[in-house]
Structure 1
Amino acid sequence: MKKNSSFLVLVFLAFFISNAQSISTSPYSLYGLGSLYESNFGLIPAIGNSGIGLPSGSFINNKNAASLVNIPMNNFFFEFGGTAIQTSFQNNSKTENRNNFQFSHLAFAFPITTKSAFSLALMPYSSSSFIISDVKISIIDGSNEYYNLDVIGSGGLNNLDLSYAYKVTNKLSFGMSASVLFGSTKDDRTYTINNTVTLLDKKTSYNGIRPILSSQFKIDPDFTFGLNVKTPTKINAAKVQYVAIANSTGSSVLESDKKTAADDFYLPLEIGVGINKVFKNKLSVTFDYEKRFWDATNQSDLYGDFTNQQKFALGFSYQKAKESRNYFDRIRFATGLNYDSGYLQINNRKIDDKSFSIGLSLPFDRNSSALFVSYSYGEKGKITNSLIKEDYHKLTLSLNLDGIWFVKRKID
């Protein structure tokens, strides 16, 4: 039985790695490392992606590593999840719909001692997936001369997260994480000027390690404060590209799989704070605020600029009675709101993202095994002459399996 379980985990892991980089499709993934994807576990997607101050002992809270110390001793959490996304893209002239489904995360966590815990998780970090066709761009501003551009992008980065938590006192705990980022993006472009076609196929590989520090402090048994600090990090880049040109007289290859210098990408300092308040042991309220200091990275994109980003998240969850014999009393219901100011500024307009979510957790047993289901609706960007509005519906499923380890049998 253990061999079969181990094999099943390996199958999930292999399938996840082979597909994790295409979690979403968006024209805004043209920029930087692609669209940054927020993969959250358990009930967190249902409570507006809040949870920095949530001292969870029933699922893996990847918003704050310090919360791992709340996992009961001898318990082993194994969680995996998937996301289905239906997106509608609109501009001034047309509307297009796209559907996508993808595994979103694979993780496990367990206590090491009564004061420490560890977790390992694999999830997508960014996605670069877009198609841009027949865009006319002026060679010189104000002139009638232009070229046509066609672009196809794919790939993205994965995040292998290793976290350790330690309980200093019954009220204070600290967490340390290392996010190992790795992956590649492909950018295939066709430039057409009169009867001349230039092909540029580029593959850029990235890798880097980002340290994260976190803490949680219980002001009282029902009120917890959380803090996250993600350090500024350089993501190393290397690219290989192929360049060819063709016209009425023939064709020629200018570069063939040539390794060239690539600009490294810089992730900014990120600071997040959160609170969690429980009322009458039934209603839980969470609120997060995060700021990402992109201005300090002094970097920009060919088509836009990176600017400071703010995120607000508010969540509510309700469970009538955790220990009740009535199954419906043990179901936890949740809802939340999220606003992200965005980090991209295109033509002096920021690409913001706002969403609403609902969900629930369906327990399997008296431990913490449960199925988490959440639905969110959101809007990203605006309809202008140069921008696109995205309306998306997202369904997230996460399964948390709770096993009991190293407990002696009471009856042989």
Structure 2
Amino acid sequence: MIKKIIVSFGLLFSVASVAQEGTASPYSYYGIGDVRFKGTAENRAMGGLGILNDSIHINLQNPAAYSDLKLTTFSVGGSHSTTNFRTSTSAADATRTTVDYLAFAFPAGKLGFGAGLIPYSSVGYKIRSISADQNVPSRQYTGEGGLNKVYFGAGYKITKNFSLGADANYNFGNVETKNLYSVQDVVLGTRELNTSDLSGFNVNLGLIYSAKINKKYDFVASMTYSPEGKIKSVNERKIATVLILADQDEIVDVEKTIDVANTELKLPSKLSFGAGFGQKSKWFVGGEVTMQKSSDFGNRFDDITNVSYEDAKRFSLGGYFTPDYKSYSSYFKKITYRAGLKYENTGLIVANTAIKDYGVTMGLGLPVGGPFSSLNLGFEYGRRGTTGANLVKEIYGNVFLSLSLSDRWFVKRKYE
């Protein structure tokens, strides 16, 4: 049965991941767009904490955790976001529903393996500025696309306490941005259309140390490191005069291709480390720090101005509590309750202003179909950006959901 469910979700994911627009943020114009992937639903509900090694849940942030899996596990996650955009003079709302990841992992003795597909970043915005003054053109900016990641990973338990692992990632995608300029009572407007085809490889390395304290408590320390990766951006630009219809469709009058250079974007190196303390399957609390060398990042086109980058930092604090996962008398005692806090300096500087992100998270792990599978529900509330310097503040609420199915596969039958 679980295999049929995996096939069905896989087909759905392959369609949805291509068609979806994962963001509505104007900040997604820069670089490779908004980095959407923040971990599994279980991790996101704990403020993005990615240090836990688990026997039945996939950790997509530290590949060393594959070695602790005891059951074959399939996980798919999605989210629905509502964002209020505010400037110093106006406000608007947008909603998005997206598929966030599809992952599969299985144990093999001291080894564990995982593979999957993650829509990593998204570009998606629509901005209009209408002018009735012939000396001031009306402007419309739109963008769509993003970067996807296919990965394969493995983890190995070196000793009873130490595990290491690695993910190999192939990144691919396409981004299209369009700028329209028109003047009142002038029949034709001007359109600039930019497209970028993105591709490249990078790796993620992980290490986990876990030990018992007083034979009762568990201590976990985690570290991941992603060396700098390269993304090749094959760029094209077209300039056209267009007739803009009432429904905002365009009829091209004359179009010309402009020579622009291809660029090479850097996926910045990233280092994460954290630690936590608790009782396995009962409660856990921990913290994590992530540092990214974002100051080395660049844009798809060389003529994008008013933006720069600095090194990014993220702090996560979170944990979980399960009253009694073995309870036969109460379903509510088997529910896992999660919560967390996060703070992030994104590394993006627009108009000499650093873009920062604050959030609070919470969630539930609801057992389904047995003790090893769960439906994970989470909620995140936060804000990013500022209304100062003519920028945009985003106040967002995200509801995210995942289905984690675990079962024993690849068992040799004793009797036929």
Distance 1:384 1:2 in 2: 51
The answer to whether 1:183 aligns with 2:184 is no
Secondary structure of 1:55's partner? coil
In structure 2, what is the equivalent of residue 17 of structure 1? 17
In structure 1, what is the equivalent of residue 151 of structure 2? 161
The answer to whether 1:322 aligns with 2:321 is no
Q: Which of 105, 124, 144 is the equivalent residue of 1:129?
A: 124
The answer to whether 1:200 aligns with 2:204 is no
The answer to whether 1:304 aligns with 2:299 is no
Distance 2:298 2:239 in 1: 29
In structure 2, what is the equivalent of residue 105 of structure 1? 101
Secondary structure of 1:213's partner? strand
Distance 2:2 2:163 in 1: 33
The answer to whether 1:63 aligns with 2:61 is yes
Distance 1:116 1:305 in 2: 42
Distance 2:326 2:242 in 1: 72
Once the 2 structures are TM-superposed, how far is the Cα of residue 279 of structure 1 from its aligned partner? 4.4
The answer to whether 1:228 aligns with 2:224 is yes
Once the 2 structures are TM-superposed, how far is the Cα of residue 203 of structure 1 from its aligned partner? 1.3
CA contact (8 A) 1:367 1:402 kept: no
Q: Which of 58, 78, 83 is the equivalent residue of 2:74?
A: 78
Letter in 1 for 2:348: L
Distance 2:401 2:280 in 1: 28
Distance 2:99 2:388 in 1: 33
Once the 2 structures are TM-superposed, how far is the Cα of residue 191 of structure 1 from its aligned partner? 3.2
CA contact (8 A) 1:83 1:396 kept: yes
In structure 2, what is the equivalent of residue 174 of structure 1? 164
Give the gaps of 5 or more residues in structure 1.
Answer: 137-144
Once the 2 structures are TM-superposed, how far is the Cα of residue 282 of structure 1 from its aligned partner? 2.5
Give the gaps of 5 or more residues in structure 2.
Answer: 244-251
CA contact (8 A) 1:273 1:289 kept: yes
Once the 2 structures are TM-superposed, how far is the Cα of residue 281 of structure 1 from its aligned partner? 6.0
Once the 2 structures are TM-superposed, how far is the Cα of residue 119 of structure 1 from its aligned partner? 0.7
Q: Deviations over 1:214-253 (max 9, x none)?
A: 1101243600111110111110011233212369xxx963
Cα 1:60–1:92 change in 2 (3 A) is same
In structure 2, what is the equivalent of residue 29 of structure 1? 28
Q: Which of 388, 397, 410 is the equivalent residue of 2:392?
A: 388
Distance 1:382 1:131 in 2: 19
Once the 2 structures are TM-superposed, how far is the Cα of residue 408 of structure 1 from its aligned partner? 5.4
In structure 2, what is the equivalent of residue 401 of structure 1? 405
Cα 1:296–1:79 change in 2 (3 A) is same
> Identity rate of aligned residues, in percent?
26
Once the 2 structures are TM-superposed, how far is the Cα of residue 109 of structure 1 from its aligned partner? 0.5
Cα 1:230–1:384 change in 2 (3 A) is same
Once the 2 structures are TM-superposed, how far is the Cα of residue 78 of structure 1 from its aligned partner? 0.8
CA contact (8 A) 1:42 1:400 kept: no
CA contact (8 A) 2:38 2:48 kept: no
In structure 2, what is the equivalent of residue 140 of structure 1? none
Letter in 2 for 1:253: V
CA contact (8 A) 1:351 1:380 kept: yes
Cα 1:59–1:234 change in 2 (3 A) is same
CA contact (8 A) 1:92 1:385 kept: no
Letter in 2 for 1:348: N
Letter in 2 for 1:125: Y
CA contact (8 A) 2:53 2:65 kept: yes
Cα 1:259–1:369 change in 2 (3 A) is farther
Query: How many residues matched?
Result: 396
The answer to whether 1:286 aligns with 2:286 is yes
TM-score, length-normalised on structure 2? 0.88
Distance 2:145 2:297 in 1: 24
Which aligned runs of 4 or more in structure 1 are off by greater than 4 angstroms?
A: 1-7, 145-148, 192-196, 297-301, 408-412
Letter in 1 for 2:32: L
Letter in 1 for 2:28: S
Distance 1:188 1:173 in 2: 47
Q: Deviations over 1:33-81 (max 9, x none)?
A: 1111124214111100112x21122211111110111111xx2111111
Once the 2 structures are TM-superposed, how far is the Cα of residue 263 of structure 1 from its aligned partner? 2.0
Once the 2 structures are TM-superposed, how far is the Cα of residue 254 of structure 1 from its aligned partner? 5.0
Letter in 1 for 2:315: F
CA contact (8 A) 1:234 1:266 kept: yes
Once the 2 structures are TM-superposed, how far is the Cα of residue 259 of structure 1 from its aligned partner? 7.0
Distance 2:178 2:323 in 1: 54
Letter in 1 for 2:203: P
CA contact (8 A) 2:17 2:99 kept: no
Once the 2 structures are TM-superposed, how far is the Cα of residue 372 of structure 1 from its aligned partner? 0.4
CA contact (8 A) 1:381 1:389 kept: yes
Distance 2:374 2:355 in 1: 35
The answer to whether 1:211 aligns with 2:203 is yes
Once the 2 structures are TM-superposed, how far is the Cα of residue 323 of structure 1 from its aligned partner? 2.2
Secondary structure of 2:263's partner? coil
Distance 1:76 1:305 in 2: 44
Once the 2 structures are TM-superposed, how far is the Cα of residue 404 of structure 1 from its aligned partner? 1.4
Q: Which of 80, 84, 88 is the equivalent residue of 1:92?
A: 88
Secondary structure of 1:405's partner? coil
Q: Deviations over 1:306-350 (max 9, x none)?
A: 111100000021012222223222211010000011111112211
Letter in 1 for 2:52: L
